[in-house]
Amino acid sequence: MGRTRTWGVITALFTLAACGGQGTESGAPPAGVSVSLNQWRSDETAHELEVSVRNDAGTQVRFLDVQLVTGSFATLPPTRMDTALGRTPRTDLRIPYGEARCDPATIPPVKPATVVAHIQVGDGTPRKVVFPVHHPDPTLDGLVKAECGAYILRRSVDVTFGDTWTRVGRTLQGNLVVTRKGGAEPITIDDLGATTHYTMLPRSRHPRGGERGLVAVLAADATRLEIPVEVTPMRCDWHAFAEAKKAYLFPIYGTVGGGEKRYLIATPPAPVQQAFLSYAQDVCGVGGS
C-alpha cells in the first residue's frame, strides 16, 4: 500500500512538472510588438487571413512560425515564416485558417482568439509567445457570420449553375439550379449578388417580388427549381478577368421558412467559368494573352 502511494505521488509530481514546463514555454510578446487580424479580398478564396504585425521597438523580431488559435475555427498547424521585421507600422503575414465551428440552427458569437508564434528577438534564443487579439475581433466576427450563415443555409438548399449558357445580344443566359437538401419549408431566393467582374440578374422575378423583390420560391413540396438568369460583364479588362480570384464567387441570398435571410457562395464549375470568360472576351472586344 505504501509503495503504491509513493509511486502515485511521484507520478503526480512528474505530471505537474510536465504541465508546468509546457506553460513556461509560452511567454508574453516582446514590448512594442502587437498583432491584429485582417483579410484581403484575394485571401477569401484560399481561406487565408493576414496576421498584421506592428513593431514599435527598435529591435528586429524574426517570426519563425505563426498560428491562429480560437474556438471559432478549427486549429491548423503553425505556418512556417522565417520573416524578420524591424520597426514597422504594419507588415502582413499570411496564414490559412481552419473550418468554422458552426451551430446547425444559429450563428454563434465569435470566440476569443490568440496568435501563437515562435519568434527570435535580436540574437536571442527562439521562444514561443502568445499574442492577444482584441475581442471581439471584427475580421473573425465577419468570417463567423458569413461561413456559419452559409452552413445553415446549405443544410436546407444548394444552388448550382446549369450546364448550358447561350449568348443572347450582349448578355449570357442560362439557369441557376436550386436543389432542396433537407426540411419541408418553402425556401425563397431573395436576391442574386454580383462578383468583382460579373453581374447576374434574374430574367424574371416572383410575382410577390416586385421590381427588386424576391427572385423565386422553392415550394414546400418541391425539391428542385430552375431560375433563368442573365450575366453581363462588370468591367472589360481582359487581364483582370483572366487573373481574378473572386470573379466567380456569386453570393446567393435566401431564406428558409420564416427564418433570417442568409447567403451562400455559388461557384460555377470550370467549363462554365470558361464559357463566362469567352463571352466576356467577345462582348468586350478584347483578346486573351
Res 25: pLDDT: 57
- Cell 424574371 maps to which residue? 204
Q: Which of 43, 141, 133, 42 minimizes the C-alpha distance to 100?
A: 141
Could you give phi then psi for residue 20, rounded to 5 degrees? -65, -40
Give the integer Cα–Cα distance in Å for 198 and 190: 19
Look up residue 58 and give its DSSP letter.
S
The residues spanned by each domain of the chain are: 26-141, 156-284
Res 44: pLDDT: 85
26-141 to CATH, choices 1.20.120, 1.10.3470, 1.10.10, 2.60.40:
2.60.40
Does pLDDT of 242 surpass 70? no
Mark out the alpha helices in the chain (DSSP H runs). 2-25, 41-44, 138-154, 238-243, 270-284
Cα angle for residues 237, 241, 143 (degrees, 5° grid): 120
Question: Which tens digits make up the pLDDT trace of 130-185?
Answer: 999 999 999 999 999 999 999 999 999 999 999 999 999 999 999 999 999 999 99
Same CATH topology for 26-141 and 156-284: the answer is yes
Question: Which tens digits make up the pLDDT trace of 187-239?
Answer: 999 999 999 899 999 998 876 655 556 899 999 999 999 999 999 998 887 66
- Could you tell me the pLDDT band of residue 287, with boundaries at 50, 70 and 90? low
Q: Which residues of 78-100 are buried (b: 16+ CB within 10 A; e: fewer)?
A: bbebeeebeeeeeeebbbebeeb
Domain 156-284 matching CATH 3.40.1000: the answer reads no
Res 58: pLDDT: 86
